[in-house]
Amino acid sequence: MSSLLSLPAELRNQIYDLLFIETCPYTCPTNDTSTSQPTLADFGKSSSLDDAVLIRAQPLLLTCRQMHRETQLLHLQRTSFAIGGNYADPEAFSRLCTANLPPPLISRLKHITLVGRINRLRALNESWNGVPFGCQHLSLETLVLVPRRPAQYDRHYAEIADLDSAHTLSYTLSETLKNLHNVERVVVRNEDECFNEVVWKL
């Protein structure tokens, strides 16, 4: 260990980059009715988003304090963070981040997955003001959007409900992408066949 830490910082950074383990997205609880206040410490714990996923810890962060400090930025830049739809609101997202990360570290977040119901995602064009989550510090490489059906969903009228949701989502995305800055790539996913396949292709 001492021989590794005695190497020049540039060499250590290259070694860290090679040793970094790509993980599943770290998640925050997505239950909108939860009374607890999630923090960045909750990322990686089981949540309603992916209960079956076992997320591996980054060994580099657990080795020693010096390695933790030196690899923290790499961890933030390379890890995909998944958050619930309630954090589409800029104020909620700001509370989540500023309680745990100072602005210089917030700017290091590069990959975020937003999972939420269509009505939550309307915040994208209603309150983001052209930057992701309304946060001027963010400059994302990837923003993944995973829309979910409304809480009250009647399967007897599934296709009609999906058409309505698809229209709302299309409008939200078209208005958002007209003026969205600080994001290199936006991906929209229909995960777990949440929406009717025929409607989704439209």
Residues 96-146 have pLDDT tens digits of 887 777 778 888 899 999 988 888 888 888 899 999 999 988 999 999 998
- Of 6, 166, 183, 175, residue with least CA distance to 111: 183
Confidence category of residue 89, pLDDT binned at 50, 70, 90: very high
Residue 177 neighbours by CB under 8 Å, 6+ apart: 186
For residue 111, what are the β-bridge partners?
A: 80, 142
Confidence category of residue 197, pLDDT binned at 50, 70, 90: low
CA-derived radius of gyration, the chain: 19
Confidence category of residue 159, pLDDT binned at 50, 70, 90: low
